[in-house]
Amino acid sequence: MDRIANNLYIGSSSEAHDSKKLNLYEIDYCIGLTSHLETLNIGWDLYLEDNSSNRLLHYIEPVILCLIKLRAGKKILLHSGNSYSRASAIATILFSVLQDVKHEEAYKEIYLRCPPARLMNKAHIPFIKETSSYLRKKYCGSRSRTTGS
């Protein structure tokens, strides 16, 4: 389990089911970003496939859910089975919005904090760019340092 930002972690499906580890890290919510449904003790499963058919709406739902929980001071573990791809994509968007940085800079930070993030499916990149740009304009307003990203 890797800490990405304040109260935000990326982990595996097995870590999302490990109550001892969840208690150790004081995780409040597990959000499974999977192409199949699982049963989690503390969280939700959101359907997000690992292919180019994803649309902006698929990314906004988990990001908004996470933003609401993070702003309430809750600790979140993102997982996407054992691949890290979808969780890394959502973590990149969240980091971009929370830190008000471009998606490229956010991805570099995610990679440094969670090396398995480098395995993220490249099909996510256009949607990461689009979603992070939209949400940064909406939530960061005039603080935003980007132009056209």
What are the tens digits of pLDDT across the range 83-118? 788 888 889 999 999 999 999 999 999 989 988 887
- Beta strand 29-34 with 76-79 is parallel
Q: Report which of residues 53 and 6 the model is more confident about.
A: 6
- The arithmetic mean of pLDDT across residues 104-133, rounded, is 87
- Asked if residues 91 and 8 have their Cβ atoms less than 8 Å apart, the reply is yes
pLDDT of residue 110: 92
Report pLDDT for 3.
Answer: 94
What was the pLDDT predicted at 149? 41
The predicted model scores a pTM of: 0.81
The predicted structure's pLDDT at residue 35: 59
Maximum pairwise Cα distance, the chain = 44
80/30 Cα distance (integer angstroms): 10
pLDDT band at 14; cut points 50, 70, 90: confident
List C-alpha distances in Å: 61 to 40, 47, 143.
Answer: 18, 10, 23
pLDDT confidence of residue 146: 43
Angle 125-140/56-71 helices, nearest 10 degrees? 50
pLDDT (tens digit, 9 = 90+) per residue, 42-68? 555 554 554 545 555 667 778 888 888
Q: Is 50 exceeded by the pLDDT of residue 23?
A: yes
Tokens representing residue 140 in the block: 């960061």
